[in-house]
């Protein structure tokens, strides 16, 4: 059951919501390849692992539609366009007894999430025509018993099993309703229903239902789609729909997207609330009514009425006409036809575009004479996989290879017909030697062209790639939609910064096997195996301060060159620590001072990662001893004033470690703070040495000014060194000259003009 559900686009959508790093338009496929849970899985020589059991509120084991996700530190929790991104590493499923396991884990800090993979959202015919669908019952949660990823408990793994990471899942609420157009009955509806949840960061996307989710290329959306959103955590929600209009006749698509939100029906004698239907307003939920969702309760009739803007039908004007069909001669509605006036550089001068009607016909009005290039593409919709390859007339894959069409004012060019080809695909698996499923892998796709092998690009987003095909949770299978051509594949496994790369059929790109992909071909068993090293090395050491071991000191380990640690531990009663299960490679080690009168430092007695001394671990080194001694710290204290003696509050203060190089301001600051209402700021816990300081304020011109003295000749501030000594406070008071400050009345010019 989980396999079937994982193949669905709904599951793909949720994975995208929690995936780290923004996805690109290249055909770089990031595969979240996972381990199974049942039985006795094979385990490498020195693994770490996480084990637990999932139950319902009655204590009964949960399996079937439940899946468990593993996230790795640093979590990098951000919200972009309403989506939660985190560092998702693996996904697995419990066995029949509710037990799950993540095996072969590198040393690191992890968090675990629990989800019901049942159908969380459906729309249109999917809700009524799928009586066997298993809907989501349980609300998502994170270990330990929290709905918020930010408050989930860290789990430290270092080459040994971690057990008891259990979850009790609770029933979620549900919402049902319809989407209708307010003033027309002869236009079909297709688009997206979006549910927003109130969070401390604002309204965030919680769930979506695609009104074409179960559509085939010949699917006709219903006039009044029904949607269902289930498995919702308790909380406050708002509900909106974004619709794409498909005209019954070929028309220029100047306005294609409309938005409306659920609003509580007006009481008798009250005016109905205004419904925001303009998608250009970036806050479509501003007019929505709050919906309070509680555990195990279904709220019905949360209906959305969208008021569309309908442009007038295009008159029978001069231009170009034609039909767009599939390779088996079926008409393709809703295909965008875009004209570019040639010659041009890359995209030409854009002119009005058109969409095909239900019969696949289009008419494109033109006014400027010249030679045109026509492009035919399936419009990208949110969470909607594209089925057809964009092409230029006639059957050209690139702009420069398209056939030019000469057009004169007043002329009508008929029969500009095009056949769109469906995507071909490659399927296979990526595994480590011995059959282990990779924790995290990339597939680079190279295409052979006139200039040789280049990394292929695609119009598809990451979601489109996954949603166009299936993704097997247990085997690490992948699926790549591709246009016809000759390809070579490279697979790279990344484990905590260590990269292991191989190519399909060879060790290098030149030795790789060619894959000749025909139009709409389905190529399987393109399996790639990588010989990655095992996790056998370790870092151990002791942290001292004032000649005595220090307990409770946090020790962080970085990959060399990284700005963030991937694992941390604390010292024991003897001041000792150990990070085991590491790969061979280069690392940085940092000890964080437990009190402000001590200074945090990296190995090599440096306060910054870019200046730290890397530690090299070779494959034959079973353990490396790295001891650190925390020195007494110094402090900085400053007051920032205007030229008239008034304090400058709210100024940003950057404290930089200075090693004598000329590009000190290019390195990340060690500390960032703000001045208080009195212009005061202070920083403690600084490693003795030389520092420099920069200030930034909205009243400054230029925006950033270094702490220092004003050069009357150049009218610029010369940076001054600040020497920090143990157990001493160094003053950094500064008054900004009037020529560097904006005022409400005027902008002071540089001093040379005064």
Mean pLDDT of 61-88: 71
Residue 536, pLDDT > 70, answer: no
Averaged pLDDT of the chain: 75
| Cβ neighbourhood burial of 123 (10 Å; 0-12, 13-18, 19+) | buried
> What CATH number does residue 398 fall under?
2.60.40.10
Mean pLDDT of 169-192: 73
Predicted local distance difference test score (pLDDT) of residue 443: 79
Q: Is residue 82 part of a domain?
A: yes
Q: Which domain holds residue 90?
A: 2-169
> What CATH number does residue 672 fall under?
2.60.40.1120
Please compute Rg for the chain using Cα positions.
Answer: 31
Predicted local distance difference test score (pLDDT) of residue 147: 83
Q: What would the pLDDT profile of 312-351 be if each residue is shown by its tens digit?
A: 444 567 889 999 998 888 888 778 898 988 765 444 445 6
Are 35 and 146 found together in one domain?
yes
**Maximum mean pLDDT: which of 2-16, 338-352, 656-670:** 656-670
Q: What is d(CA 499, CA 140) in angstroms, rounded to the nearest whole number?
A: 33
Mean pLDDT of 212-218: 36
* Sign of the CA dihedral running 580, 586, 588, 589: positive
Q: What would the pLDDT profile of 398-415 be if each residue is shown by its tens digit?
A: 888 889 999 999 899 999
- What share of the chain in percent tops pLDDT 70? 70
Q: Is residue 683 part of a domain?
A: yes
Are 164 and 184 found together in one domain?
no
Q: How confident is the model at residue 46 (pLDDT cuts 50, 70, 90)?
A: very low
Say whether the peptide bond before residue 394 is cis (omega within 30 degrees of 0): yes
Q: Is residue 544 part of a domain?
A: yes
Q: Is residue 314 part of a domain?
A: no
The separation between CA 550 and the C-alpha centre of its own chain, rounded to angstroms, equals 40
Residue 384, pLDDT > 60, answer: no
Are 667 and 614 found together in one domain?
no
DSSP characters over 703-752: SEEESEEEETTTTEEEE--EEE-TT-EEE--EE--GGGBB-SS-BPPPGG
Q: How many domains does the chain have?
A: 6
Predicted local distance difference test score (pLDDT) of residue 442: 73
Mean pLDDT of 707-724: 87
Nearest Cα neighbor of 445 from 524, 515, 377, 521 is 515
| Cβ neighbourhood burial of 180 (10 Å; 0-12, 13-18, 19+) | middle
DSSP SS3 for 403: coil
Last residue of a domain, one of 383, 402, 419: 419
Predicted local distance difference test score (pLDDT) of residue 241: 85
**Greater pLDDT, 35 or 51:** 51
Residue 310, pLDDT > 80, answer: no
Q: Is residue 514 part of a domain?
A: no
With beta carbons less than 8 A apart as the criterion, state whether 544 and 622 touch.
Answer: no
Q: What is d(CA 325, CA 361) in angstroms, rounded to the nearest whole number?
A: 9
Are 652 and 621 found together in one domain?
no
**Greater pLDDT, 212 or 351:** 351
Are 131 and 241 found together in one domain?
no
DSSP SS3 for 420: strand
Q: How confident is the model at residue 198 (pLDDT cuts 50, 70, 90)?
A: confident
Predicted local distance difference test score (pLDDT) of residue 483: 82
DSSP characters over 563-631: SSEEEEEE--TTSEEEEEEEPSEEEEEEEE-SSTTB--EETTTBSSGGGSPPEEE-TT---EE--EEEP
Residue 227, pLDDT > 90, answer: no
**Greater pLDDT, 222 or 339:** 339
Q: Is residue 613 part of a domain?
A: yes
Mean pLDDT of 222-232: 72
Residue 271, pLDDT > 50, answer: no
Mean pLDDT of 730-737: 87
Are 15 and 74 found together in one domain?
yes
Predicted local distance difference test score (pLDDT) of residue 344: 55
Mean pLDDT of 662-676: 87
Mean pLDDT of 619-640: 88
| Cβ neighbourhood burial of 509 (10 Å; 0-12, 13-18, 19+) | middle
Predicted local distance difference test score (pLDDT) of residue 466: 33
Are 197 and 215 found together in one domain?
yes
Q: How confident is the model at residue 440 (pLDDT cuts 50, 70, 90)?
A: low
Predicted local distance difference test score (pLDDT) of residue 741: 63
Q: How confident is the model at residue 701 (pLDDT cuts 50, 70, 90)?
A: confident
Q: What is d(CA 547, CA 549) in angstroms, rounded to the nearest whole number?
A: 7
Mean pLDDT of 425-448: 75
Are 200 and 137 found together in one domain?
no
Are 468 and 446 found together in one domain?
yes
**Maximum mean pLDDT: which of 283-292, 429-438, 496-505:** 283-292
Angle at 195 (CA atoms; ends 272, 147), nearest 5 degrees: 130
Predicted local distance difference test score (pLDDT) of residue 28: 31
With beta carbons less than 8 A apart as the criterion, state whether 43 and 49 touch.
Answer: yes
Predicted local distance difference test score (pLDDT) of residue 105: 80
With beta carbons less than 8 A apart as the criterion, state whether 302 and 177 touch.
Answer: yes
Predicted local distance difference test score (pLDDT) of residue 39: 36
Q: Is residue 313 part of a domain?
A: no
Strands (E), 5-143: 29-31, 48-56, 66-72, 78-80, 83-85, 88-92, 99-105, 108-116, 121-123, 141-142
Q: Is residue 312 part of a domain?
A: no
Token code pair at residue 243: 């619709």
Q: What share of the chain is helix, strand, coil (3-state, %, to 5)?
A: 5, 45, 50
Last residue of a domain, one of 419, 446, 474: 419
Are 111 and 15 found together in one domain?
yes
DSSP characters over 123-153: ETHHHHS-TT--B--B--EETTTBS-GGGPP
- Quickly tell me which residue has 């945090």 as its tokens: 600
Q: What is d(CA 674, CA 698) in angstroms, rounded to the nearest whole number?
A: 13
**Maximum mean pLDDT: which of 1-10, 165-174, 451-460, 481-490:** 165-174
- Quickly tell me which residue has 């050069």 as its tokens: 711
| Cβ neighbourhood burial of 361 (10 Å; 0-12, 13-18, 19+) | middle
Q: What is d(CA 385, CA 415) in angstroms, rounded to the nearest whole number?
A: 29
Are 104 and 129 found together in one domain?
yes
**Greater pLDDT, 427 or 11:** 427
Indicate the pairing of strand 689-696 with strand 734-735: unpaired
Predicted local distance difference test score (pLDDT) of residue 219: 33
Last residue of a domain, one of 248, 283, 306: 306
DSSP SS3 for 347: coil
Are 138 and 255 found together in one domain?
no
Q: How many CB atoms lie within 10 A of CB 575?
A: 19
Q: What is d(CA 709, CA 637) in angstroms, rounded to the nearest whole number?
A: 17
Q: List residues bridging with 372 in a β-sheet.
A: 341, 405
Q: How many CA atoms lie within 13 A of 545 on its CB side?
A: 21
Residue 40, pLDDT > 70, answer: no
Q: What would the pLDDT profile of 579-591 be if each residue is shown by its tens digit?
A: 887 777 789 999 9
Residue 232, pLDDT > 60, answer: yes
Strands (E), 330-440: 336-342, 349-350, 354-355, 361-365, 370-377, 391-392, 405-407, 412-413, 418-420, 424-432
Predicted local distance difference test score (pLDDT) of residue 221: 45
């Amino acid at each position: 059951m989980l396999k079937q559900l994982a193949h669905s686009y709904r599951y793909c959508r949720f994975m995208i919501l929690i995936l780290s790093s923004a996805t690109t338009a290249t055909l770089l496929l990031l595969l979240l390849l996972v381990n199974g849970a049942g039985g006795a899985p094979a385990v490498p020589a020195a693994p770490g692992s996480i084990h637990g059991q999932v139950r319902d509120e009655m204590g009964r084991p949960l399996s079937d539609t439940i899946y468990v996700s593993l996230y790795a530190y640093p979590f990098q929790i951000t919200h972009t366009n309403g989506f939660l991104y985190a560092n998702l590493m693996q996904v697995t499923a419990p066995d029949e007894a509710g037990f799950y396991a993540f095996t072969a884990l590198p040393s690191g800090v992890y968090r675990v999430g629990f989800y019901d993979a049942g159908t969380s959202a459906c729309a249109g015919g999917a809700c009524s025509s799928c009586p066997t669908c298993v809907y989501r019952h349980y609300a998502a949660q994170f270990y330990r018993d929290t709905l918020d990823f930010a408050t989930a408990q860290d789990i430290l793994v270092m080459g040994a099993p971690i057990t008891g990471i259990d979850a009790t899942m609770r029933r979620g609420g549900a919402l049902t309703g319809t989407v209708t157009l307010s003033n027309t009955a002869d236009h079909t509806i297709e688009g997206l229903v979006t549910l927003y949840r109130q969070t401390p960061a604002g309204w965030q996307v919680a769930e979506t239902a695609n009104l074409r989710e179960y559509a085939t290329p010949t699917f006709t959306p219903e006039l009044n789609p029904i949607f269902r959103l289930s498995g919702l955590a308790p909380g406050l929600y708002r509900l909106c729909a974004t619709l794409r209009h498909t005209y019954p006749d070929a028309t220029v698509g100047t306005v294609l997207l409309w938005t409306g939100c659920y609003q509580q029906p007006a009481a008798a004698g009250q005016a109905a609330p205004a419904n925001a239907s303009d998608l250009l307003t970036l806050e479509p939920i501003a007019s929505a009514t709050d919906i309070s969702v509680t555990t195990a309760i279904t709220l019905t009739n949360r209906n959305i009425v969208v008021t569309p803007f309908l442009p007038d039908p295009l008159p029978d004007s001069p231009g170009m006409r034609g039909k767009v069909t599939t390779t088996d001669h079926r008409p393709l509605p809703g295909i965008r036809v875009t004209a570019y006036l040639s010659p041009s550089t890359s995209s030409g001068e854009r002119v009005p575009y058109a969409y095909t009607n239900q019969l696949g016909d289009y008419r494109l009005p033109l006014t400027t004479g010249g030679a045109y290039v026509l492009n035919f593409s399936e419009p990208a919709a949110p969470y909607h996989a594209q089925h057809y390859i964009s092409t230029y007339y006639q059957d050209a894959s690139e702009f420069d290879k398209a056939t030019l069409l000469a057009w004169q004012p007043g002329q009508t060019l008929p029969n500009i017909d095009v056949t769109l080809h469906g995507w071909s695909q490659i399927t296979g698996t990526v595994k480590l030697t011995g059959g282990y499923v990779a924790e995290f892998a990339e597939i680079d796709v190279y295409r052979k062209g006139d200039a040789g092998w280049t990394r292929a690009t695609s119009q598809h987003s990451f979601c489109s790639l996954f949603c166009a095909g299936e993704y097997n949770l247990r085997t690490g299978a992948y699926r790549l939609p591709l246009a016809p051509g000759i390809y070579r594949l490279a697979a790279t496994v990344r484990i905590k910064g260590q990269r292991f790369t191989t190519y399909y059929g060879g060790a290098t790109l030149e030795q790789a096997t060619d894959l000749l992909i025909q139009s709409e071909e389905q190529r399987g068993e393109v399996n790639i195996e990588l010989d990655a090293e095992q996790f056998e090395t370790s870092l151990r050491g002791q942290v001292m301060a004032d000649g005595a071991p220090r307990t409770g000191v946090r020790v962080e380990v970085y990959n060399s060159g990284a700005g963030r640690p991937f694992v941390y531990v604390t010292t024991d009663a003897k001041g000792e620590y150990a990070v085991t299960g590491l790969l061979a490679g280069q690392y940085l080690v940092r000890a964080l001072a437990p009190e402000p009168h001590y200074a945090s430092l990296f190995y090599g007695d440096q306060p910054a990662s870019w200046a730290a001394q890397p530690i090299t671990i070779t494959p034959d080194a079973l353990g490396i001893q790295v001891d650190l001694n925390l020195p007494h710290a110094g402090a900085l204290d400053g007051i920032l004033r205007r030229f008239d003696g008034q304090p400058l509050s709210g100024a940003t203060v950057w404290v930089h470690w200075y090693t004598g190089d000329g590009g000190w301001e290019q390195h990340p600051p060690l500390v960032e703070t703000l001045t208080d209402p009195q212009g005061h700021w202070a920083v403690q816990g600084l490693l003795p040495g030389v520092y420099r300081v920069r200030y930034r304020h909205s009243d400054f011109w230029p925006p950033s000014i270094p702490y220092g003295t004003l050069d009357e000749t150049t009218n610029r501030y010369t940076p001054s060194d600040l020497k920090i000594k143990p157990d001493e406070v160094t003053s950094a008071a500064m008054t900004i000259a009037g020529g560097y400050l904006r005022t409400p009345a005027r902008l002071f010019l540089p001093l040379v003009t005064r």
